[in-house]
Structure 1
Amino acid sequence: MTRRIAAASRALLVAATVALLATCATTQPIRTSLPAAEVAAAQARQLAREAALRGEPDWSLAGRIAVSNGRNGGSGRIDWQQVGPRYEVSLSAPVTRQSWRLAGDAAGARLEGIDGGPREGADAGELLRAATGWDIPVAALAEWVRGVRADGLGPAVVSYGADGRLARLAQGGWEIDYRWPDAAAGAASADAQALPARLDARRGDARVRLIVDAWNPGEP
């Protein structure tokens, strides 16, 4: 049964793997040694961003996701709706016309669309790992995807790019690299609530790459 579930899940994700992984090919963000005053300003902007975004807990996004565990990889379309602590994540592979849906909140999660029927569990990340083999930190990703440090994962190490924007976040054993929408120099300070265009999260062999095609901030 476990093998059938894993095979079905991999079939869902594998449809567009090569194309999306090529699109997401990682190049390390430029690391520039900013003067102390600029680092302090970047940190102040980041704290202001996080405070503002936490004040808007309802949002949604549409994009493309690619995951891998060192041996197997797959990809598909993703739609994520967040209303406070409650989330609903839908993933689909257009070629195979397969899809699954993960919904839940801090109390637990339910995964639908897998072989053997729906599954439920207290932790969304553990539920996905058991059903699909993928390591996706769902609760933390809901924060990281907006460029915000996750609560409950301990301290984070933050690096900033030459433009003063968040470039890398290391937390909970994960490293997340960010790319932002194209903007003129200095736009980071003018657009404190800008949202990332792409992130690449990794821990060991596990990797999650997400390209956001459309953000709907403040809209469930």
Structure 2
Amino acid sequence: MKVRAWFAPVAAMLLLAGCVSQPTRAPVAPIDQAQARAQDERRAALTDWALAGRIAVSNGKQGGSGRIDWQQTGDRYAISLSAPVTRQSWRLSGDATGGRLDGIEGGPREAADVEALLRETTGWNIPVRALADWVRGVGADAGRFGKAQVVYGAGNRPVRLVQAGWTIDYTQWQADADAGTGPVLPARLTARRGEAKVRLIVDAWGPGSTP
């Protein structure tokens, strides 16, 4: 059984944005570049973190959704995804050198190219290693993924980041109060490249622990 069959269809979720009328946009305030850089640096310095939320993935005509729990400590990660309707789940863990996918038919699989492993096993195109940075609103390693182009908006925070052929749109950020003493982090984002789309809704950010 392919992992793609474990997730409930989410065509309505992915198309919902297209059904909502867009309000007239207010004039955009000038960006304070110094503040934008300072906020980028604070988010980039957050290398040990955890998030819990919801993910929707589509690749052309196929799509699926589920819960996501992500633990990150430096380059090490452990990502668990589950589909409540089917009660199926899988876990991806690894570091910069490769990853291991558990919960699939035939037993665990390992590969140096974790993105290729996911494509071959699940059919999904998820840029895991770059997404670990993008999900915090910062560009991934330029030496590996090329230079990131960032467009800033309200609060001197990114509204769009383009890197490695992907376009990441940030549609919502945490409220200042939710961030506590840490940096304000994204609450909703969508990454797109061609027909591949990954939508992430973060319900909670927290401190990291050893994956």
- Structure 1 window deviating more from structure 2 (102-111 vs 192-201): it is 192-201
Match for residue 45 of structure 2? 55
Q: Does 1:214 align with 2:207?
A: no
CA contact 2:44–2:136 (8 Å) conserved in 1: no
CA contact 1:48–1:192 (8 Å) conserved in 2: no
- The structural deviation recorded for 1:50 is 2.8
> Which amino acid is 1:12 matched to?
W
| TM-score (structure 1 length as normaliser) | 0.82
Match for residue 130 of structure 1? 120
Match for residue 163 of structure 2? 171
Match for residue 110 of structure 1? 100
Identity among equivalent pairs (%)? 59
Greater strand share, 1 or 2?
A: 2
CA contact 1:16–1:76 (8 Å) conserved in 2: no
CA contact 1:17–1:66 (8 Å) conserved in 2: yes
Instruction: Specify which of 9, 14, 23 is matched with residue 21 of structure 1.
Output: 14
- Structure 1 window deviating more from structure 2 (63-72 vs 159-168): it is 159-168
Residues 58-113 of structure 1 show CA distances to partners (whole Å, capped at 9, x for unaligned) of 10000000001112100000000001110000000011110000000011100011
* Alpha-carbon RMSD: 2.7
Residues 148-198 of structure 1 show CA distances to partners (whole Å, capped at 9, x for unaligned) of 1111211122112244321011111000100234659xx9xxx88100111
CA contact 1:29–1:177 (8 Å) conserved in 2: no
Q: Does 1:194 align with 2:184?
A: yes
Q: 1:49 to 1:60 in 2, by over 3 A?
A: same
> Which amino acid is 2:165 matched to?
G
Q: 1:130 to 1:72 in 2, by over 3 A?
A: same
Q: Which 4+ runs in 1 deviate beyond 4 A? A: 26-35
Distance in 1 between residues matched to 2:96 and 2:23, nearest whole Å = 33
CA contact 1:175–1:203 (8 Å) conserved in 2: yes
Q: Does 1:75 align with 2:65?
A: yes
CA contact 1:62–1:80 (8 Å) conserved in 2: yes
Distance in 2 between residues matched to 1:150 and 1:30, nearest whole Å = 33
List runs of 5+ in structure 2 lacking aligned partners.
none
Distance in 2 between residues matched to 1:56 and 1:182, nearest whole Å = 15
List runs of 5+ in structure 1 lacking aligned partners.
none
- Structure 1 window deviating more from structure 2 (204-213 vs 43-52): it is 43-52
Q: Secondary structure of the equivalent of 2:136?
A: coil
How many residues of Structure 1 are paired with residues of Structure 2 in the alignment? 203
CA contact 2:11–2:63 (8 Å) conserved in 1: no
Distance in 1 between residues matched to 2:88 and 2:159, nearest whole Å = 34
Distance in 1 between residues matched to 2:175 and 2:13, nearest whole Å = 24
Q: Secondary structure of the equivalent of 1:92?
A: strand
